[in-house]
Amino acid sequence: MKIMVTVKQVPDTSGKVAVNPDGTLDRASMQTIINPDDLNAVEAALALKDELGCKVVAFTMGPPPAEGMLRELMAMGVDEGVLITAREFGGSDTYATSQIIAAAIDTYGVESDDIILAGRQAIDGDTAQVGPEMAEILGLPHVAYVKKIREVTESEVVCEREIETGVEVIRVKLPAVLTVLKDINVPRLPSYRMKMEGKEKETPVWGIADLGLQENQVGMEGSVTTVMKTFTPDPRGNCRMIEGS
């Protein structure tokens, strides 16, 4: 059994958010952080590693500096990090992104008892689509909004997922994709010893040819959606402030 976890490096939106004239995020001028939900996915993977002794592999698609983030994850206990990067991947929408990450997971190899974990949502794109889309592309069952992993066996996982009206308990056959909520755990801090060990580890870097994808499956060409415009809506009506007790 191994746990594959997808982790996105995102702009730190807690500080000043810089926006380009066309409405897109000015990513270059902003600090980057590990997507918060993905830290919970990593922690869930490491907790399973502590319990079952399985290997944990992190995958990130992003520009070459994202390798630094993979090293941070190794300092938390992740065994291996795979960087998926290529000029052709720029401009990918969620479908193309899912296609690329799914291809990387498939290339790495999915075995019958593997679990793939993703965060529920990235704080920049905010769609929560990539986890379920990856699962569909890989032809695997998936459970979204997981708040607790109750039990894992060689053939299935039992988890709790949050829904609007309560909690569903789901038994799902492995291999499967789970997307996790922030409530699932508190991520551990990196350790200095593992940080030093992580420096020695090789980080595979995969581009389009390694994944067996064609140019028309990635980037703008492989995208099925186009953002036509982003804008802040005009305020509707005036607000009347009422003072007093």
Q: Which spans of this chain sit near ligand FAD (rule: CB under 6 A)?
A: 6-8, 35, 37-38, 41, 59-62, 90-94, 97, 101, 118-119, 121-122, 124-131, 223, 225-227
CB of 223 to ligand FAD, least distance (A): 5
CB of 225 to ligand FAD, least distance (A): 5
Tell me how far apart the alpha carbons of residues 116 and 215 are, in angstroms, rounded to a whole number. 26
Tell me how far apart the alpha carbons of residues 186 and 166 are, in angstroms, rounded to a whole number. 22
Report the residue number whose CB is nearest to ligand FAD: 125
Tell me how far apart the alpha carbons of residues 85 and 56 are, in angstroms, rounded to a whole number. 20
Pick the closer one to ligand FAD by CB: 109 or 244: 109
Annotate 87-106 with DSSP letters as a single string.
GGGTT--HHHHHHHHHHHHH
CB of 207 to ligand FAD, least distance (A): 14
Pick the closer one to ligand FAD by CB: 23 or 236: 23
Pick the closer one to ligand FAD by CB: 53 or 103: 103
Q: How many CB atoms lie within 10 A of CB 10?
A: 24
CB of 226 to ligand FAD, least distance (A): 5
Pick the closer one to ligand FAD by CB: 83 or 174: 83
Count CA within 13 A, CB hemisphere, residue 212. 7
Count CA within 13 A, CB hemisphere, residue 166. 4
Under 8 Å between Cβ of 151 and 190: no
Pick the closer one to ligand FAD by CB: 97 or 217: 97
